[in-house]
A and B are shown apart, each in its own frame.
Chain A
Amino acid sequence: MEPASAAGQEDAVSKLERDPGGVPLLAVQDLEVSFPAAGDWTPVVRGVSLAVARGEIVGLVGESGSGKTLTALAVLGLLPPPGRVTAGRVLLNGPGGRTDLLTLSPGELRQVRGARIGMVFQEPATAFDPVYTIGFQIAEAVGAHRRISRRAARDEAVRLLDRVALPDARRRLGDYPHQLSGGQRQRAMIAMALAGAPDLLLADEPTTALDVTLQAQILELLEDLRADLGLSVLLITHDLGVVAETCDRVVVMRAGRVVEEAEVEALFRAPVHPYTRELLAALPRLAGEKG
């Protein structure tokens, strides 16, 4: 069934391309990421294709080691050495037409990261520098993409923190990351990701470190941002419950390959690939019969 599902992925990308209204914001085509092993390059992500349309929330799911995070890092040009992209294209649509991110210089790529694609990581505690205040760090992110006075950057930081509903934003500017709780840090992290006014948010397990009531708050925030700013989100997660509640489409990865790609409703109603079925069957149920 591998060939059948591979054909299915290509269709998703080309279908979006054919539809003029639906030119995907991001299209990853036949991406291959390799690491050196035994004197040779061994692909660990193989032939991955996926697309994210404007204003769409796409879930990228899989278990540990499935290659979902490596795929995201490859899109951002942040693969940990010695890993490298050995084949494929990462196309990002913008006002200046379409660019293949893999052909950009490190300097050009830095302008894409933050300004076009914002990043949210799982553990906000490590994403912030512990010795600078969050206000300083968010203002710095604002200044990195715009010529703007320090004072204006600070005001912008307050606006961003208000946008992500961090209570008492102006007073919080002077706080260090450790003074915020886990949920507040994740909000601050999203504010920082929004600093460059990106079109696409790449969120790698953004709620995994949080308790469920805080997870609900963050998921709600992501949905709000999509509605208000028309933001696209590539949401990397292992939690099919999160996918079912927030995503429009899902891409399921296993062992470096995409095994299934579908609209959320269709995937949960009628999973095609045996692995997806296995994943769904493994889900513990709430208020269902006892196992």
Chain B
Amino acid sequence: MSALLSIHGLRKEYPVRRGFLLRRQGTVHALAGVDLIVARGECLALVGESGSGKTTLGRCALRLIEPTAGRIVFDGEDLLALSGGELRRRRRRFQMVFQDPFGSLDPRQRIQSVVAEPLEIHSALGRAERAARVRELLAIVGLGPELANRFPHELSGGQRQRVGIARALAPEPDLLVADEPVSSLDVSVRGQILDLLTGLRGRLRLTMLLIAHDMAAVERLADRVAVMYLGRIVELAPSAALFGRPLHPYTVSLLSAVPVADPGRRRNRIVLPGEPPSPLGPPPGCPFHPRCPIARPRCAAETPALAPPGSAGILSAAADGSGEWERLAACFYPGEMSGERVSNGHEAT
């Protein structure tokens, strides 16, 4: 598989200025050197908690935010080298779906013009052709043509999110970045939107970068998962391998903290002490070591790189097609901490 998007050594730093003279007091390392390759046709999920840098990474990857350093190559072309006009033309090929379907739609625009706007910018279609294309796009996301004349406030949250998806699909992008596409929706609607995205991936051969904190949604949609902590990727693995046997202690704890709708198996969840440290003054060594249940002196002194876990036990599992061989973890002691396997939801119905 070829790479559609590859990111090398990406950093994003924000200066913190305080006081009367706004002197530079420090630097927030929102992204502390990220390398990532998104293959054509795959769905890669970025997961992590607030402040882990997943949204910043998603936006930097599309150059919605200018990174401080690093390289972003989209389909063989260095995005950071493009001029403003060239970048705008290229945007047709990568689109974004936002979290909040209330905030991301203009309340004064009818659905028709919301979805038609990218077509006006990126295509040479005439008025009638555009209207036909909008109807087609609405049908693709499961909305009737009668909604085209409505305003966003007349739609439910789920319908609005579908409109957001239709708008993103309008210019026929290769890459869709979905930033928490279901977080603001009710549970019963979440499933429908996830199903829609799954279906679209297959039909339109989309490459997807999914940004989410909802592990269940990630497992349902993603082929591979990158777990972020404090501006770094700490674990990268095929979805089944990651959920089946997380290697990084942070991933283990994160998965164990997700509540499981099965009272029959109240697990001993691993409750991490404290909170993620501030990206303003990240701890030396491994960023996770202050909260890590298996931290050792080495973890405070050196920063582990994202690398294949070296232990023979893990590599021997390579033959079974579980994708174990593709895994990477930024930990000196990967796989040493084993939470109870994250159990499945209930089996009823």
Report A's interface with B, CB cutoff 8 A.
Answer: 63-64, 167, 181-184, 211-217, 219-220, 238-245, 264-265, 268-271, 277-288, 290-291
Find A286's partner among B266, B270, B344, B349 (CB 8 Å cutoff): B344
- A237 → chain B, closest Cβ, in Å? 10
Residues of A with C-beta under 8 A to B65: none
**Interface pair A282/B260, CB less than 8 Å apart:** no
- A258 → chain B, closest Cβ, in Å? 18
Supposing A211-B213, A284-B219, A284-B345 touch, asked if A278 and B194 sit within 8 A by C-beta, the answer is no
**Interface pair A265/B345, CB less than 8 Å apart:** no
A/B interface sample: 21 pairs, CB < 8 A: A63-B188, A184-B275, A212-B258, A217-B271, A219-B259, A241-B259, A241-B260, A244-B260, A244-B262, A244-B266, A268-B262, A280-B346, A282-B188, A283-B261, A284-B194, A284-B345, A286-B260, A286-B343, A287-B244, A291-B198, A291-B220
Supposing A244-B260, A277-B349 touch, asked if A290 and B269 sit within 8 A by C-beta, the answer is no
Report B's interface with A, CB cutoff 8 A.
Answer: 49-50, 186-188, 190-191, 194-195, 198, 213-217, 219-220, 243-244, 253-264, 266, 269-272, 274-275, 341-346, 348-349
Find B191's partner among A63, A214, A284 (CB 8 Å cutoff): A284
**Interface pair A244/B253, CB less than 8 Å apart:** no
**Interface pair A282/B191, CB less than 8 Å apart:** yes
Residues of B with C-beta under 8 A to A285: 216, 219-220, 344-345
- B296 → chain A, closest Cβ, in Å? 21
CA distance A239 to B262 in the complex (A): 12
**Interface pair B188/A279, CB less than 8 Å apart:** yes
Supposing A63-B187, A211-B213 touch, asked if A286 and B275 sit within 8 A by C-beta, the answer is no
CA distance A252 to B28 in the complex (A): 44
**Interface pair B257/A268, CB less than 8 Å apart:** no
**Interface pair A240/B188, CB less than 8 Å apart:** no
Among all A-B residue pairs, the 6 with the closest Cβ atoms: A241-B259, A284-B216, A285-B345, A211-B49, A216-B257, A63-B186
Find B348's partner among A219, A239, A243, A269 (CB 8 Å cutoff): A269
**Interface pair B191/A268, CB less than 8 Å apart:** no
**Interface pair B275/A245, CB less than 8 Å apart:** no
Residues of A with C-beta under 8 A to B49: 211-214
- A206 → chain B, closest Cβ, in Å? 13
Chain B residue, CB-CB nearest to A242: B259
Find A268's partner among B216, B253, B344, B346 (CB 8 Å cutoff): B346
Residues of A with C-beta under 8 A to B275: 181, 183-184, 214
- B230 → chain A, closest Cβ, in Å? 13
Supposing A63-B187, A269-B264 touch, asked if A239 and B243 sit within 8 A by C-beta, the answer is no
Supposing A269-B264, A291-B194, A291-B195 touch, asked if A286 and B271 sit within 8 A by C-beta, the answer is no
Chain B residue, CB-CB nearest to A264: B263
Residues of A with C-beta under 8 A to B50: 182, 211
Find A213's partner among B254, B341, B343 (CB 8 Å cutoff): B254
- A241 → chain B, closest Cβ, in Å? 3
**Interface pair B219/A213, CB less than 8 Å apart:** no
Residues of A with C-beta under 8 A to B190: 282, 284
Residues of B with C-beta under 8 A to A277: 348-349
Supposing A211-B50, A285-B345 touch, asked if A265 and B258 sit within 8 A by C-beta, the answer is no
Residues of A with C-beta under 8 A to B270: 216
- A242 → chain B, closest Cβ, in Å? 5
- A186 → chain B, closest Cβ, in Å? 11
**Interface pair B261/A280, CB less than 8 Å apart:** yes
CA distance A67 to B256 in the complex (A): 31
- A179 → chain B, closest Cβ, in Å? 12
Supposing A184-B275, A245-B260 touch, asked if A64 and B269 sit within 8 A by C-beta, the answer is no
**Interface pair A286/B258, CB less than 8 Å apart:** yes
Residues of A with C-beta under 8 A to B258: 212, 241, 286
Supposing A212-B254, A213-B272, A244-B261 touch, asked if A279 and B187 sit within 8 A by C-beta, the answer is yes
**Interface pair B214/A284, CB less than 8 Å apart:** yes
Residues of A with C-beta under 8 A to B186: 63-64, 238
Query: Which of B187, B191, B219, B256 has the most chain A CB atoms inside 10 A of its CB?
Result: B187
**Interface pair B257/A270, CB less than 8 Å apart:** no
Residues of B with C-beta under 8 A to A167: 274
CA distance A254 to B257 in the complex (A): 28
Residues of A with C-beta under 8 A to B264: 265, 268-269
Residues of B with C-beta under 8 A to A284: 190-191, 194, 214, 216-217, 219-220, 345
- B44 → chain A, closest Cβ, in Å? 16
CA distance A167 to B275 in the complex (A): 11
**Interface pair B259/A215, CB less than 8 Å apart:** yes
CA distance A280 to B341 in the complex (A): 21
- A238 → chain B, closest Cβ, in Å? 6
